[in-house]
Chain A
Amino acid sequence: MDFPKYDINKYDSKRMVAIPAALFGIALVIVIITFAMTGMPVTPGIDFAGGTAVTIHTDDTKEEIIAFYDGYNLKAIDEGIGSGGYYLKFGPMSNEEMMKFNAYTLAEYPDASIDQIGANFGATLQSQAMWAIFIAFIGMAVVVFIAFRKIIPAVTVVCAGIADITITAAVMNIVGIELSLATTAALLMLIGYSVDSNILLTTKVLKRQGTLEEKLSGAFRTGIIMTTTTLGAIVAMFIVAFIGQVPTLYNIAAVLIIGLITDIIFTWVFNAGILRLYFAKMEEKPQYTPKQPKKNIKGAKQ
């Protein structure tokens, strides 16, 4: 297959670190602004803010549906491609309004799927979700530190993870994907993913023999195919789910796609740049000798 023409050893290390770092800075600003306005890092959907969502499959046109819900607080309407699937969002309703709404909807669209979350319950879910993300980060950091036991590489991997989630959150805000229970799960999944390729890179570079250039290229070759296979599976899921209008599925897929692309940048540009700087620094210190492998196991040669 055609590999991206990216030579991991060619570019200036400092620039490799600076560009993703700048991206992270911009993303952080977006996320902080969103947080200040909504109380969550990504604009919350009905799961957290409360409200009503309806999924229907019908021959009716978008205009007919909008006309049908005239008088109800219809906030947004998404449409699948050629499948007659619609995803509608409404503002919060009281219990009585909800009962009336259900009856009205089901009379016209008996096969509709209706989800409703009260504002209170949404707030509970919101605090649980924030805790889940926080605990997942702490847990990830602990695992990474145990695995490497070296401050700089471990901090880099953790930072790459944080940056990955932050940038993904910022992009979600930009492209209009709301934070729901499903997309929260996808973000948590990304914590795991982002560490995956970073661990591969860092382990290969720190624990192997050979020149840095060789190790970086080797790790890149493996790492990029790894991420592209995952990306392939998830893009396939996204396309099918989007055409078929299964919102939970395509929202999760979309978040994972954004995150994996960010992950590629942070692993193979940012983390690789840091590792090169780290090694350059180590070589400057005369007293430092890179840890030699104790003894080559017979026949072992790289």
Chain B
Amino acid sequence: MSAPKKEKKVYTGWAAVIRDPRVILVLVLVALSLAAIFVPFGDREGATNLQFGLDLEGGSWIQLEFQSEVVTIGQGADVNAVAESMGKTLDCTVVPIDETKVEVQKSATEGELRAAVEAAGAKFVGYEPGVGTETADSVKRILESKLNSLGTSDVKINTLTNINGVSQYVRVEMAGVDMQTAQELVGTQGLFELRIVTTGNETAHVLYGDSVVSVQTPSQNPAGSDNWGVGFGINNEGAAALQQACIYYGATTNPSAHELVMYLDGNLVYSAPLSSDLAASISKNPVNSLYAGTGSGDAGKAQAQELEIHLRAGALPVEVEIAGSGSTSAVLGDYFKVICVIAGIAALAAVALLVYLRYRTPQIVLPMIGTNVAEIIILLGIAVFIQQLDIAAIAALIAVLGTGIDQLVIITDEVIHEGRVPSQALYLKRLKRALVIIMTSAATVIIAMIPLIVMDLSTLKGFAIISILGVLIGVVITRPAYGRIVMEILGK
């Protein structure tokens, strides 16, 4: 801190405190944070802009494990040829990822993989469960389209990728969706097939989900009739296959005897005859745009929404299994929120009581608690933008409240000797020493928390980020201001 210039008036006490840049910074940040937390912007659900995790908001998460292996082979082999040969040996799709890695799209043992690689004339180096980035991205896209069509407020899909670029898991978080719905939506592979009735109960294959290129949202046909259905588009190959099948089996001449039937994972999800219009037009030309009616009223609408998801589903490129899941109902989430708020207030009260018992001087205790509250407010203000708060993050927040006071105690004890504040030069020297202690311990906390962020133990990210942010805000912003306040207030 530089001494005020001579021509300037020298302020003391609160007047000086209010003019200190460090104190001003804290006040400005507190104001901005309060604005970030409370001023409505965008569409928000609660009374604040804070984002909450599923355990406080209510919702479900599901973690899916890819049933797939990434195999590393020795350098020099033609990876495309190896992949093709391995695909034949293992009877599944094998795609090359890069020069030395192939993705085997089913789960297999090390022995099977080694044999397949060696049969292809390459050297087996190693394997790990998971898929390459490209497959992971496409799974993410498919799940996104599947889930976003639901219209839930908030769906987050993250593939967890390790340092080798292999993803073993994909995590799906859905706010406001219960576990059963979530599992039905996500856990199914979604192999869609359109078949046609040939004779009696017999059906024949027409096309798979990969021919479905676009799916519309449920609509009424004609508009306003309350007759619901879903329009969807198929590619030229699919359209040609459909035309051929309809003509071949006689659906164009006798639609009701040759219904079109849709299956998802072998389960019947929809069946209906060709409409007379469609039968007429398809007998002449392939048709790319189709409309599947589901009936009238709320039931028809609900069925249309379901069908839309089925049509969108397509098949995931690899099989998945549910590795873990969790859900919290909105009611329980609200209850947890209340408990968290009470816990926070109780913690603050406990801290205030303890420092009061220790110092018994309002001039020290009030700035201390004030600084601590300012720290929490700034932390929450930043969290609005970067981190959703789950229960673990709240625990970190309360811990920050405790450690924050710790460090204010270090500063206070360091600068005040037997209740008196020393000269400014000595004060600054002592403040600097106190800050060195604080910096070292802050560095330790940050270092200890970094693995939790990098390692993607997803549920602990919030805990780690809030802890680190709390420490940083304390060291950089609030502690220096507190040091200044204490000096001016007690220096009189």
Which A positions have Cβ atoms within 8 angstroms of B?
1, 55, 57, 95, 98-99, 102-103, 106, 110-118, 120-122, 124-125, 128-129, 131-133, 135-136, 139-140, 142-144, 147, 181-182, 184-186, 188-189, 191-193, 195-196, 199-200, 203, 207, 218, 221-222, 225-237, 239-241, 244, 246, 248-249, 252-253, 256, 297-300
B308 proximal to A (CB < 8 A): no
Cβ A142 vs Cβ B455 within 8 A:
no
Cβ B447 vs Cβ A232 within 8 A:
no
Shortest CB distance A90–B (Å): 13
B78 proximal to A (CB < 8 A): no
Say whether, besides A239-B346, A248-B391, A192 and B323 are in contact (CB < 8 Å): no
Interfacial residues of chain B within 407-431, with CB under 8 A of chain A in the complex: 407, 409-410, 413-414, 422-423, 425-426, 429
Q: B456 to chain A: which residues have CB within 8 Å?
A: 128
B207 proximal to A (CB < 8 A): no
Q: How many A-B residue pairs have CB under 8 A?
A: 264
Closest B residue, CB atoms, query A208:
B433
18 residue pairs of the A-B complex, CB under 8 angstroms, read A99-B183, A102-B180, A112-B329, A114-B326, A118-B322, A132-B457, A182-B391, A189-B396, A189-B448, A222-B410, A229-B409, A232-B350, A236-B346, A237-B398, A240-B346, A248-B392, A252-B392, A299-B423
Q: A140-B447, A196-B441, A236-B349 are in contact. List 17 more A-B contacts (CB 8 A).
A: A113-B55, A114-B179, A114-B327, A121-B323, A122-B324, A124-B168, A129-B457, A132-B451, A182-B463, A185-B460, A195-B444, A203-B440, A221-B413, A226-B410, A233-B399, A234-B399, A241-B339
Interface magnitude class on chain B: 35 or more
Cβ B351 vs Cβ A121 within 8 A:
no
Point out the residue from A222, A235, A240, A241 that lies within 8 Å of B409, measured CB to CB.
A222
Closest A residue, CB atoms, query B400:
A233
Shortest CB distance B361–A (Å): 13
Shortest CB distance B430–A (Å): 9
Chain B interface main SS type: helix
Closest A residue, CB atoms, query B179:
A102
A258 and B447 CA atoms in complex are apart in Å by 22
Which B positions have Cβ atoms within 8 angstroms of A?
55, 63, 65, 168-169, 178-180, 183, 187, 321-329, 331-332, 335-336, 339-340, 342-344, 346-351, 353-355, 357-358, 391-392, 394-396, 398-399, 401-403, 405-407, 409-410, 413-414, 422-423, 425-426, 429, 433, 436-437, 440-441, 443-452, 455-457, 459-460, 463-464, 467
Closest A residue, CB atoms, query B54:
A113
Say whether, besides A114-B326, A300-B429, A246 and B391 are in contact (CB < 8 Å): yes
Cβ B343 vs Cβ A249 within 8 A:
yes
Closest A residue, CB atoms, query B412:
A222
A144 and B437 CA atoms in complex are apart in Å by 11
Say whether, besides A181-B459, A185-B460, A143 and B443 are in contact (CB < 8 Å): yes
A228 and B351 CA atoms in complex are apart in Å by 9
